[in-house]
Every structure is written in C-alpha cells, then in structure tokens.
Amino acid sequence: MTINNMYFIANWKMYGNISSIKSINKVVGLTKLQKYSKAKIVYCPPFTILDSFEKKIKKTKISLGAQNCHFVNGYGPCTGYVSAKMLKDIGTKYVIIGHSENRNEGETNFKINLKINSALTSKLNVIFCIGETLKEKKKKKTFKVLSNQIKQGLKNIKIIKNFIIAYEPVWSIGTGIIPSYKELNKNINKIKKIIKPIKNSKKIKIIYGGSVKPSNVKDLSKIPGIDGFLVGGSSINSKKFIDIIKKTIN
Ligand code: PGA
C-alpha cells in the first residue's frame, strides 16, 4: 500500500531541558530507515532549548518547530515574547499557533489570525490548532466553533504548501479520551467542508491531536484523509513516540 507523507509532530509543551535532547537519538535512527521515509517528524520543544535542539537535528530529516510566536513580526517592545522572524533566524521551520492551552489563556481568533500572518511572512510552516470544548460539544456547537475558528483564523491568509490544521478536541487533550471513529470522521469531513471555499484548500494537511498513544494510533490512522498526528504526552518518551510512528507506518 502506498501511503502519503504522515506528520508526527511532537509537542513537548513546558517539559524538557538540555539533557532531554539526547533522548531523541533513537528517533534520529528511525529516520534513516527507508521504511519510515514517509514520516515527517517535527519536534516542538520549549523555547529555551530550541537552539540546542536545532544543532542536534541539523543534519537529520527531523524538522524543528516552536510552540507559539508573537503576532508582531521582527522585533519590538514585547516583553517575554518571541517573534516568528526570531524563530526563523535560528532554523525553526514550523510553529504551532492557536493551541487550546493558549486559547484558554485568552488567545483570540483575531490574534491567532495575526500570528498566522506573521508566521507565513517569516516563511514558517503553520500548525494551526482548532477544536471544541466539551461544553461546546455537548451543546452541539462543534461545527459552529470549528467554522468560526477556521474562518477567523484564516481570514485573508494565502494558503501555501505545508499548511497544517491540527484538529484537537479540547476534551481529548491530556485526558486519555479520544473521539470515536464515527465522530472523528464526521469532524474531519466538517473541517474539509469548511475549508473547501478557501483557495488552495487542497494543499492544507489535516492532522489529529489529543491523547494519541501507541495503543490507539492504529485506529486513529484509519480515518480517511488524516495526514498525521500532533502528539503531546506520548512524544516526550521516545519509545512511545517511535511506537506511534511504527504503528502508523507498517
Ligand atoms: P496530548 O496533547 O497528546 O498530551 O493529549 C496533545 C496536544 O496538546 O497537542
């Protein structure tokens, strides 16, 4: 069976330090095997170790991503923040924007839109996170929420290659609970429907995130049109991350 490229994006969140970097040695080894050449592996460690991480993966097939950026590009009086341009300068290729943990702290669709614009201006590949909360799901508002997040987040954005939408139901993140096949399939189709009018929408990759583990990834990868996974907890442990890759591509 020929499969398309599959993304495996490791979101380390606020975990990891310099000594954690060597833990990816086995993942580097995996990328050398022809069998896994379709696995596009991106590591998004915390800002503090991005530069060291870049040095570690420089000559490998692994790409570097950041977990956020400020909406002001270049430089500015923005204490405590990092811009897309600064990320690009140190070799970062991807950036996660709109993660629910940041939305939860007040990041609006409007700001997310500015951040996406800024990231694309700096030629970073965007991993744009969307997803409904449990309350919204229970009120049957999923379609409306996803639609608003996409329409406002992508307002006036020109889609180019390697643009990724990560569908992450908020109730699934870090909880061990994943959507059923039926529900996930339905929501991925909803997303496809929402993005259809956008120019170049076929270039958008759709990945899933939320409690992805070696034990559930095989089922998750059966969803038609899924282009990969955004993995939090299970990406910090290289053995689990490798298992996830191996169970998807076999
Ligand atoms: P999780 O996190 O895999 O730990 O649920 C996913 C994410 O927040 O991106």
Instruction: Give pLDDT, residue 1.
Output: 43
Residue nearest to atom 2 of ligand 1 (CA): 232
Q: With a cut of 90, say whether residue 159 has pLDDT above it.
A: no
**Quick check: is 168 catalytic?**
yes
CA distance 130 to 120: 18
213 C-alpha to center of ligand 1: Å? 10
What would the pLDDT profile of 116-143 be if each residue is shown by its tens digit?
A: 999 999 999 999 999 999 999 999 999 9
User: Which atom of ligand 1 is the closest one to the Cα of 100?
Assistant: 8
**Of 99, 101, 107, 132, which is the active-site residue?**
99
The residue whose CA is least distant from atom 1 of ligand 1 is 232
In this predicted structure, the answer to whether residue 103 has a pLDDT above a threshold of 60 is: yes
Residue 100: is its pLDDT beyond 80? Answer: yes
With beta carbons less than 8 A apart as the criterion, state whether 130 and 96 touch: no
CA distance 244 to 238: 10
* Tokens 């009120």 sit on residue: 139
How far is ligand 1, taken at its centre, from the CA of residue 95, in Å? 15
Q: What mean pLDDT is predicted for residues 183-196?
A: 96
What's the chain's length in residues? 250
Coil, helix or strand for 111? helix
C-alpha pair distances (Å), 164 with each of 95, 127, 161:
10, 5, 9
User: Is pLDDT at 160 greater than 90 in this prediction?
Assistant: no
Which residue reads 């508002």 in tokens? 141
Nearest C-alpha to atom 6 of ligand 1 is from which residue?
A: 232
* Three-state DSSP class for residue 165: strand
What lies within 8 Å, CB to CB, of 82 at 6+ separation is: 47, 66, 68, 69, 70
| Per-residue pLDDT tens over the stretch 210-236 | 999 999 999 999 999 899 999 999 999
Tell me the per-residue pLDDT of 3-55, one tens digit each, with 9 for 90 and over.
689 999 999 999 999 999 999 999 999 999 999 999 999 999 999 999 999 99
d(CA 231, CA 96): 12
Q: What is the mean pLDDT of residues 167-192?
A: 97
Separation between Cα atoms, residue 123 and residue 93, nearest integer Å = 8
CB atoms inside a 10 Å sphere around CB 22 = 9
Pocket residues: Cβ below 6 A from ligand 1: 11, 168, 173-174, 209-212, 230-234
Q: Ligand 1: which of 12, 231, 244 to mutate, most ligand atoms within 8 Å of CB?
A: 231
The C-alpha atoms of residue 173 and residue 171 are separated, in whole angstroms, by 6
Per the DSSP assignment, residues forming a β-bridge with 230 are: 9, 209
Which tokens in the block code for residue 102?
A: 């940041």
In the annotation, is 99 catalytic? yes
CA distances from 178 to 163, 167, 189, 230 (A): 24, 12, 17, 13
